[in-house]
Amino acid sequence: MNILVVFDHPRRDSLCGALLDAFLAGLAQAGHKAEIADLRAENFDPRLPPDDEPDWDDPRKVYSPVVLAEQQRILRNDAIAFIFPVWWWSLPATTKGWIDRVWNNGWAYGDARIPLRKGLLIAAAGSDQPTFVKRGYDRAIEIQLLTGIIDYCGIPEGELVMLYNLLGDDAARKAAIARAGELGRDYFGSA
């Protein structure tokens, strides 16, 4: 399969960057072909400009060239994966803005859906799982991302993988990197 890997972190030499490396190695091991969208390195502007505002009366609105190019990048792949740090119990702003602008009315929702087969979200969290469960953040992020975005935009199979406790716990960090590798190798099946 061709997989678009959307990466969002201010530094490539971060833990999230190590998750990306392991994930890419896993994809290659399974024979998949990855295309990387490194949103921060590419200076993607997450702010929604007037050109990319949906026109609720015109589902055929032509969006900005930046958005059209991003939509083409999605369409030349079969599936999508996101790797990001959890910031305020949710997506970092650049990934959020990429979805705001690119997954737009008439293309991703409204009278159309995104023709991707699978969507995998790998979320790196500083806190541990009990903290997420205690406040319901685990359910909140899952409903928001899987129901509210992946399923809403017509991607038939989605999974959110939370990697917890990544601040200050070396064993958890090592396990998270190993898990990212396994997900790359196994999640999308055989190429």
Ligand X SMILES: Cc1cc2nc3c(=O)[nH]c(=O)nc-3n(C[C@H](O)[C@H](O)[C@H](O)COP(=O)(O)O)c2cc1C
Piece of 8-16, 39-47, 73-81, 100-108 that binds ligand X (CB under 6 A):
8-16
CB of 179 vs ligand X, minimal distance in Å: 14
How far is Cα 1 from Cα 102, in angstroms, rounded to an integer?
22
Compute the least distance from the CB of residue 85 to ligand X, in Å.
Answer: 4
> Quick one: which H or E segment has residue 19?
helix 15-29
According to the binding rule CB under 6 A, does residue 126 interact with ligand X? yes
Query: CA-CA distances (angstroms) from residue 31 to 28, 154, 184?
Result: 5, 26, 10
Residue 16 lies near ligand X (rule: CB under 6 A): yes
Report d(CA 152, CA 162) in Å as an integer.
20
Residue 113 beta carbon to ligand X: minimum distance, rounded to whole angstroms: 30
99's CB contacts (< 8 A; 6+ apart) are 91, 149
127 binds ligand X (CB under 6 A): yes
How far apart are the C-alpha atoms of 179 and 110, rounded to whole Å? Answer: 35
Nearer to ligand X, 86 or 155 (CB): 86
Q: H helices within 117-169, ranges in order? A: 129-135, 137-142
From residue 37 to residue 76, what is the string marking binding to ligand X with x (rule CB under 6 A)?
A: ----------------------------------------
Residues lying near ligand X in the complex (CB under 6 A) are found at 9, 14-16, 85-89, 124-127, 166-167
